[in-house]
Each structure stands twice: as C-alpha cells, then as structure tokens.
Amino acid sequence: EIVLTQSPGTLSLSPGERATLSCRASQSVSSNYLAWYQQKPGQAPRLLIYGASSRTPDFPDRFSGSGSGTDFTLTISRLEPEDFAVYYCQQYGSSPYTFGQGTTLEIK
C-alpha cells in the first residue's frame, strides 16, 4: 500500500499570499496518477487536480499541481478567501487507492 504524507498539517497564510502544499509518497506513484481534492466544512471533497498537474475546469488558474515519482506539490499562487479549506492528495496508480491525511489551509 502506498502511504501518502502531506505537509504541513496546517498552513496559516493571509489572502494574497502564495501557498505551497506537499504530498510525499512512500513509493513511486505510477504514471503520476496523483490527484488533489479541496474539502470545505460540511461538504464533500471536490476534484481539483488529476494526473499530478491537470486542473479541472471548476477551479481557476491560480491553482497548479506539479511533481512526479514520490514528490508532488499543490501551489495556490495568490490566495483568495474561498481557498481556505482542507486539501487532500490521493494516488490512483495502484490498489488500494490511498489518500493523504490532509493539509488545513487556514486564514492567518
């Protein structure tokens, strides 16, 4: 089973700042089958990034994903108030499909 470790656990930033979230895998994620999700309180997660770097149309281009192998990054270039949420990474390269424990992005 691939274990995904996200860091930091909590990130405190102000609107307008840049956010960098990390997801590290215990073994290489095949074909960069790595997704990111955004979850707000009381809501289901929403797919944000797939294939490590492909952004879904629901999200603006201030969100970007990068990385390969075992190290992946989600970057939010300029934080807007609606971006403060919990972000999860997930690998779908091998079963069982696993999620990271999440990074909480909170307003400073």
Partner 1 sequence: QVQLQESGPGLVKPSQTLSLTCTVSGGSISTSNYYWSWIRQHPGKGLEWIGYIYYVGSTYYNPSLKSRVTISVDTSKNQFSLKLSSVTAADTAVYYCARVPRKYDLLTGYSANYFDNWGQGTLVTVSS
- Give the footprint of partner 1 on this chain (CB under 8 A): 31, 33, 35, 37, 43-47, 50, 56, 88, 90, 92, 95-102
User: CA–CA separation, 85 vs 14, rounded Å?
Assistant: 13
* Structure tokens that stand for 101 in this block: 């424990």
- Residue 92 CB, nearest approach to partner 1 (Å): 6
For the chain, what's the residue count? 108
The phi, psi pair for 82, rounded to 5°, reads -75, -5
- Residue 96 CB, nearest approach to partner 1 (Å): 4
3-state DSSP assignment of residue 84 = coil
Residue 14 vs 43, nearer CB to partner 1: 43
Residue 50 vs 63, nearer CB to partner 1: 50
